Chain A
Amino acid sequence: MTDVRRRLAVSTAAFGGLACAAVLAAPLLGTTSISLRRVFDGSIPFADNVDAQIFFIARLPRALAGALVGATLAAAGVVFQALLRNPLATPFTLGVSAGSALGAMLAITFRLHLSLWGVSAVTAASFIGSIGAVAIVYALARARHRGFSTNILLLAGVTLNAFFSALILFVQYLADSAEALRTVRWLMGDLDVAGYGPLVAALPLCAAAFVAFAWLPRPLNLLSLDTDAAASRGVDVLRVQRVAFFSASMATGAAVSLGGPIGFIGIIVPHLVRLMVGSDHRVVLPASAMFGAAFLVAADVVARTAMAPVELPVGIITAIVGGPFFLWLLVRQR
């Protein structure tokens, strides 16, 4: 068995097991304690089984949403990092999450509750926002340099974040207060989904993004050499860049429409995974998706229970952990 096969098998078993455990354990934890045995006790009818109702109706959708958002943001982070050849690039630091949030905000505030081919207006607007932000970052980074410089990317990201945040505040200011209160919580990054509906709404775009991601790891490995080196080894660089750019934007848009702009998942998770499994994207990408799922579900348990009965938005937890982590990486990179 070759090295990559072994690492793929080991990491899938480990991170996949971790993700499954997190999704199963998270609904059991909370202000009201429930027992797993009662949840799956078939002798009690569902209408009378309070434990099962809490598990399946109140908490499982939230855990699944956490898993989906965590997996999607972590995988999108890996793709952005490889595409821009920069380990500090993530949906959040590039301003892509903010662009996506602006799109979603506009759709929520102006009550666009349409849906087309199973994709809701909020999800679509969120996707359009994210692709717009990536296009701006991409153009900026390309305009002055042949490669992508860290300075330009980070500055562009900071500026875009500030710019989109201002626009978001402007939209909020225009909106009525009841609507504004709902969006404030969402903007902090919150997985408090009501039932399975929002999950199903975000699923088609996430699934489409992951289908594209499956094709990417090998060319992404070559791209981290150099675009010329990749081309000379048989990679169709332009096509790979387009697919990566489009699918990662799509993934970010879908994740943000579901959970709001939750930060730092796309940088913490891929970095920890690389420390454990190396840089080969064929291992890093799936492992990051699974570890991202487990990580966000766990962070959300902390958010729900740390200050119980008050439930914090999970974005606060990831930012408290992620901010210092990002600064540490920035210092270490030099």
Chain B
Amino acid sequence: MLRADSVTYVHGGRAARPAMLPGGGQPAPPGVQDVTMRVERGHVVGILGPNGSGKTTLLRLLAGMLRPESGTVTLDGTNVASVSRAALARSIAVVPQETHLAFDYSVLEIALMGRYPHLGTFELEGPRDVAVAREALAATGTLALERRSFATLSGGEKQRVVIASALAQQAEILLLDEPTASLDLGYQFDIAALLARLNRERQITVVVATHDLNFAAGLCSSLVMLSEGRVVAAGRTEDTLTSLSIQALYGVVADVYPHHAAGHLTVVPLRRVRRD
């Protein structure tokens, strides 16, 4: 189980301020304050919140990429701050929002990069590593692209290859930062189906930060809602995804009802209201 206990990371005291500061300076990464959440093994958890609410910061804290200023993040009872980067990477894999390569690699090379935490300093990938990487590509439906150059892929293909690279880490927990943000409806659907299948067939624990409420409703068994760095609601998706919480979070009046064909809650935004 991955859990955060009263985690605070305000990054120079800028947490509670709005993300876009006047004066054209670079906005500081939004902080999080006193966040407590738990991710049970095998669950799919969504992190929701408006822009600048600290979703990405929370993901980075959960992944051990940021050290909390106070509080702890623990994985099965072990503080992630005390685990080496490579050891942590064998348990937790991260898929960033977008991937821009500095140099061009083939799809297979990208997938093989997931083997990094399993290899020694001067060790080259062996046949087993290639097998794991190709299997990960197969799981994301991108094995046919293995010889292609990454730069020539479409947005949805890139995202699936990056997920394959994370799968090749053979970590039991997958953290994704807005995996569908730049994708069209078809690819959004593919990613949701892929994550649901990975969770169902491989018992991979998934934590996903997203803006897409219907994506979260269809995929996540529980939700954590962040506003200005604080948890304002958390719990099972059916209990937390309500008209009330959506209005509090985004300042939008929305209708939330179970959609029978989709088999999950559906959110229909109706109109904007001023936020309290």
Contacts and interface: CB of A to CB of B under 8 A. Distances in A.
Given A4-B124, A224-B101, A225-B113, A234 B106 contact: no
A233 B87 CA distance: 10
A207 interface: no
Nearest to B100: A226
Given A231-B65, A232-B94, A233-B169, A224 B102 contact: yes
Interface stretch (A66-74, A120-128, A276-284, A300-308): A276-284
A233 B106 CA distance: 18
Nearest to A215: B121
A179 interface: no
A225 B94 CA distance: 13
A222 B117 CA distance: 11
A239 to B, nearest CB: 9
B89 interface: yes
A218 interface: yes
Interface string A82-95: 10011100000000
A282 to B, nearest CB: 7
A224 B151 CA distance: 13
Interface residues of A, number: 33
A266 to B, nearest CB: 15
A58 interface: no
Given A144-B26, A231-B85, A279 B93 contact: no
Contacts of B101: 224-225
A41 interface: no
A32 interface: no
Given A144-B26, A222-B116, A229 B94 contact: yes
A234 B89 contact: yes
Contacts of A85: 102
Contacts, number: 92
Contact of B124 (A2, A215, A225, A232): A2
Given A5-B124, A225-B99, A282-B124, A232 B89 contact: yes
A233 B117 contact: yes
Most buried by B among A85, A215, A221: A221
B104 interface: yes
B96 A2 contact: no
Most buried by A among B103, B162, B175: B103
Contacts of A81: 102-103
Contacts of B103: 81-82, 87, 224, 274, 279
Most buried by A among B88, B90, B109: B109
Interface in B98-148: 99-106, 108-110, 113-114, 116-117, 119, 121-122, 124-127, 130
Contacts of A228: 60, 65, 94, 96
A4 B29 CA distance: 39
B92 interface: yes
A235 interface: yes
Contacts of A86: 102
B114 A233 contact: yes
B113 A234 contact: no
B181 interface: no
Nearest to B117: A234
Interface string B73-87: 000000000001111
A81 B101 CA distance: 12
Contacts of B39: none
B90 to A, nearest CB: 7
Interface string A210-224: 000011001001111
Contacts of B124: 2, 4-5, 8, 282
A68 B101 CA distance: 31
Interface in A236-271: 236
B113 A221 contact: yes
B234 interface: no
A218 B120 CA distance: 10
A169 B3 CA distance: 61
Contact of B102 (A5, A82, A234, A282): A82
B89 A222 contact: no
B63 interface: yes
Contacts of B65: 228, 231-232
Most buried by B among A229, A232, A234, A274: A232
Given A4-B124, A234-B116, A278 B106 contact: yes
B109 A235 contact: no
Interface in A53-81: 81
13 contacts: A3-B130, A87-B102, A218-B119, A226-B100, A228-B96, A232-B65, A232-B93, A232-B166, A234-B89, A236-B85, A278-B109, A280-B105, A282-B124
Interface of B: 26, 60, 63, 65, 84-90, 92-94, 96, 99-106, 108-110, 113-114, 116-117, 119, 121-122, 124-127, 130, 162, 165-166, 169, 175
Given A8-B124, A229-B96, A232-B175, 9 more contacts: A2-B125, A2-B127, A3-B130, A81-B102, A144-B26, A221-B113, A232-B166, A234-B88, A279-B103
The 7 residue pairs across chains A and B that have the minimum distance between CB atoms: A234-B89, A234-B117, A232-B94, A234-B86, A85-B102, A279-B103, A224-B102
